[in-house]
Structure 1
Amino acid sequence: MIVEDVLYGSFEVEEILAALILSDEVQRLKDIHMAGPAYLINPVWNETRYEHSVGVMLLIRRLGGSLEEQIAGLLHDVSHTAYSHVIDLALANEADDYHEKIKFQLIEKSALPLILNDYGFDYQQILSHDEQWSLLEQDAPLVCCDRIDYTLREVQRYFSVPLEEIQQFLNAINIIEKQIILNSSEWAIWFIDQYRKVVIDFFYDPLNICSYEWMAQAIRIGLRNQEVTLDDLLMTDSAFLKKLKASNSAEIQQLLNKMDHPPKYIVCSIEDNYTIYQKKKRRFVDPLVEVAGKVAPVSAISQIAKTKIDKILDDSEKGIFLKVD
């Protein structure tokens, strides 16, 4: 099977990866949007968990990761619910990890263990703890294939960062003791700038914020009225939206109708008469770099990097206040 990706190119993958990619569980991710319900307001924001999951797999492959780690990368987001992290807002789950809490239970009920077993792989060993895979997952603020992929994918699509520039960044990555290390402070700072575009400029875009607020409210009402269940969120985005649209709740219908047209809004301060306030999970990166044979976080060797990181943290802490008509 040939897998092609806009960021990483074309790869012929092993039969086990092909079987997993074609599984219902991974194919479902083609209709799970990375930006949740934001595409309902702005159709351009249409990146899917499928694109990201395949991308993470290919990036791990490009960086020399084992077949087992590529499998873990491909399946790391398989338990994301409809509209991705909107469930975390609906349930006031500040850790943004609902999908991680249900992941292993979902996998055990799926066809994935059987597929893996048919090819001689132990699903429990590979999928129980993503933290064992150092290329796939690292605690923030270190970079990993998960963070790198969604950052590069979104800045290329939504902020028109040239593919040539992205390739130059990828070529600046070295693997030292199974960790991702950049070969210069300049590329580390470049990545901090790209990450800011995603976690501040994009995540806090007012249209993105509105879509999350209204869909989260609709889900809360649906759960309260017992018109939807948490298991329904394991549908695709389209199937879950169809179920919400069938609701008898006038409140839900009003919320869904708001997303048919871009709203009028004003970004305001806490003192103003705001209608929506959101503060996302704090996200920042401090990439490791190798300088003169020594490895250190870029913030320890560059004041520019430290200032940029501090600004991201400050903006994240403030959140956003909106007055929406």
Structure 2
Amino acid sequence: MIVHDVLYGSYEVEEVLATLILSKEMQRLKDVHMAGPAFLINSTWNETRYEHSIGVMLLIRKLGGTVKEQIAGLLHDVSHTAFSHVIDMALLNKSDDYHEQIKAQWIEESAIPGLLKQYEFDYRQILFDDEQWELLERKAPLLCCDRIDYTLREVYRYFSVPLQEIQCFLKSIKIIENQIVLESIDQANWFIEQYRKIVIDFFYDPQNICSYEWMSKAIQIGLASKDITRADLMMTDSAFLKKLKSAGSTEIRQLLMKMDRPPKYSICSSEEDYDIQQKKKIRFVDPLVRLSDKIVSVSTVSKTAKIKIDKLLDDSKKGIFLKVE
């Protein structure tokens, strides 16, 4: 199988990866949107978990990762629920990791163990500890393929960042002592700027905020009334939305109708009267850079980087307050 990606190019992948890509578990992710329910308000926010998962796999490959790590990268988001992280808000799960909490059980009950067994791979060893894969997953503020891919993919798609800039950044990546290290302070500062566009400008876009508010409330009502179950959350976005709409709840119907058009809103301070207040999970990056014979966090050698990171953290801690008409 030849796999094509706008960011990383085309690669011929091993049969095990091709088999997993064509599995129903991976194909489901073609209708699970990264932006969650915001897609219902703004149809251009249409990146899917499938695209991101393919991207993570290919980036790991590009950086020299093993087939096992590519498998882990391909399947790292396979247990995401419909509309991605909206379930975390519905369940008041501030760690944003519901898909990780259910991952092991969901995989055990899927076809994935059998598919991997055909190629003599142990699914437990590969899939149940992503942190063993040092390209795939690193704790913030370090860079990892997961964090890099969704940032690059979304700034390219939603903020029109030129592909040439993205390619320059990718060329600056080096793997040193199993860590993702950038060759220049300029590239590190560039990535911090791109990351801010996603975690502040995009995640806190009022359309995003409103969609999460309304969909999470609809899910809470549906779960409480037993019109939907947690098992239903493993449907595609389209199937789950159809199930929600068929619940017969006037309150759910009214909440979903709000997403038929962009909301009218104003951003206000916490001291003012507001309708919606949200604080997302704190996310920031502080890339490693190579300077002559040493590797350091860019914030320790660049005042510009330190200021950018501090501003991102400050804005994240404040969250957003909206007045909606």
Structure 2-normalised TM-score? 1.00
1:229 aligned partner, one-letter code: T
Whether 1:275 aligns to 2:275 is yes
Quote the Cα distance in structure 1 between the aligned partners of 2:125 and 2:163: 36
Q: How many residues align?
A: 325
* SS of 1:221 mapped into structure 2: helix
Displacement, 1:214? Answer: 0.3
1:8 aligned partner, one-letter code: Y
* SS of 1:3 mapped into structure 2: strand
Quote the Cα distance in structure 2 between the aligned partners of 1:125 and 1:217: 37
Displacement, 1:218? Answer: 0.2
Displacement, 1:220? Answer: 0.2
Quote the Cα distance in structure 1 between the aligned partners of 2:11 and 2:293: 33
* SS of 1:195 mapped into structure 2: helix
Whether 1:186 aligns to 2:186 is yes
Displacement, 1:272? Answer: 1.2
* SS of 2:102 mapped into structure 1: helix
1:282 aligned partner, one-letter code: I
2:313 aligned partner, one-letter code: L
Aligned equivalent of 2:315: 315
Displacement, 1:229? Answer: 0.6
Whether 1:226 aligns to 2:237 is no
2:230 aligned partner, one-letter code: L
1:107 aligned partner, one-letter code: I
Question: For each residue in 1:30-63, what CA deviation from the matched residue of structure 2 results, as whole angstroms up to 9, or x when unmatched?
Answer: 0000010001000010000000000000000000
Displacement, 1:128? Answer: 1.2
* SS of 1:242 mapped into structure 2: helix
1:180 aligned partner, one-letter code: I
Quote the Cα distance in structure 1 between the aligned partners of 2:80 and 2:300: 35
Aligned equivalent of 1:83: 83
Aligned equivalent of 1:111: 111
Runs of 4 or more, structure 1, over 2 Å off, are: none
Question: For each residue in 1:252-277, what CA deviation from the matched residue of structure 2 results, as whole angstroms up to 9, or x when unmatched?
Answer: 00000000011100000011110000
* SS of 2:180 mapped into structure 1: strand
2:32 aligned partner, one-letter code: I
Structure 2: runs of 5 or more not aligned: none
1:183 aligned partner, one-letter code: E
* SS of 1:211 mapped into structure 2: helix
1:189-228 aligned within 5 A:
189-228=189-228
Quote the Cα distance in structure 2 between the aligned partners of 1:220 and 1:295: 47
Aligned equivalent of 1:292: 292
Quote the Cα distance in structure 2 between the aligned partners of 1:270 and 1:181: 39
1:1-325 aligned within 5 A:
1-325=1-325
Displacement, 1:248? Answer: 1.2
Quote the Cα distance in structure 2 between the aligned partners of 1:238 and 1:60: 30
Displacement, 1:292? Answer: 1.2
Quote the Cα distance in structure 2 between the aligned partners of 1:45 and 1:165: 21
Question: For each residue in 1:119-155, what CA deviation from the matched residue of structure 2 results, as whole angstroms up to 9, or x when unmatched?
Answer: 0101011011000000000000000000000000000
1:172 aligned partner, one-letter code: S
Quote the Cα distance in structure 1 between the aligned partners of 2:315 and 2:231: 35
CA RMSD of aligned residues (A): 0.4
Question: For each residue in 1:236-294, what CA deviation from the matched residue of structure 2 results, as whole angstroms up to 9, or x when unmatched?
Answer: 00000000110111000000000001110000001111000000000000000000110
1:179 aligned partner, one-letter code: Q
* SS of 1:313 mapped into structure 2: helix
1:174 aligned partner, one-letter code: K
Structure 1-normalised TM-score? 1.00
Quote the Cα distance in structure 2 between the aligned partners of 1:162 and 1:294: 31
Quote the Cα distance in structure 1 between the aligned partners of 2:162 and 2:270: 37
Question: For each residue in 1:186-236, what CA deviation from the matched residue of structure 2 results, as whole angstroms up to 9, or x when unmatched?
Answer: 100000000000000000000000000000000000001110011100000
2:167 aligned partner, one-letter code: Q
